[in-house]
Amino acid sequence: MNIDKAIRKQKKSYKIFMLSMVFIFFLLPIVFILNRKFHVFYMFYLIVLESLIFLTIIITINNEFLKFEYDGYRIKINMGVRNVKLNIICDKIVLVHVENYVVKNDKAVDFRIIFLSTVKSRNNRIIPVNRDFLKKRPYLAHQYNKLKILRPNARFYYTIVKNGGLSKYLFLDTVYKSCVYAYFTKETIEKIKYYRENSENYNLYKKNITT
């Protein structure tokens, strides 16, 4: 699979889907008014349909929206329907891990990216590592214990990025090139390797660098 084409297809499908949903959202009330059937049943039915369409739009935006920019010091991230802003200070990231999961109400497999950092920013999405977090992730608990041996007085924080769909591959590659002091787990390396082997843009960039 060509990742670049898949990402472009994802973005195109997202735009078409959103335009369709917005069009239907505004069309239904117009049709309802033109038909002049102001019965309670039809009004209730319209409200239910509009609510479902609005909820679908919100969920889609929340799952798909991911923007990021590296400024030489940190990666600025915007994600989700609330446009949540995260600043990842690259030199303070100590570990990056990838975790696969099955999307709810959909049998598709996606992945989330987990960061461990030694710095907490003002954002409430960067959370101190706690027992519940480690209990759910035994492998990360093992890596965390190794970090605590090396840095017994350090405090560690985590944040998770799961928005963006296939765009996370490009984001993860940017993280790999930017967070030079971080340890990347085997699962993370496999994702980056898969992206680079299936990205025409990366192979073209690599070819231009070597020539």
| DSSP H helices in the chain | 3-35, 40-64, 131-136, 138-150, 167-178, 186-197, 200-210
Q: Is it the case that residue 31 has pLDDT exceeding 70? A: yes
User: How confident is residue 206, by pLDDT bands cut at 50, 70 and 90?
Assistant: low
Per-residue pLDDT, averaged over 57-73, amounts to: 90
| Nearest 10 degrees: Cα torsion 184, 189, 191, 195 | 120
Q: How far apart are the first and last CA of the chain?
A: 26
Instruction: Tell me whether strands 109-117 and 183-184 are parallel, antiparallel or unpaired.
Output: unpaired
- Gyration radius of the chain's alpha carbons: 21
Looking at residues 176-203, what average pLDDT do you find? Answer: 89
With cut-offs at 50, 70 and 90, classify the pLDDT of residue 132: very high
Q: Torsion over CA of 8, 11, 12 and 13, rounded to 10 degrees? A: 120
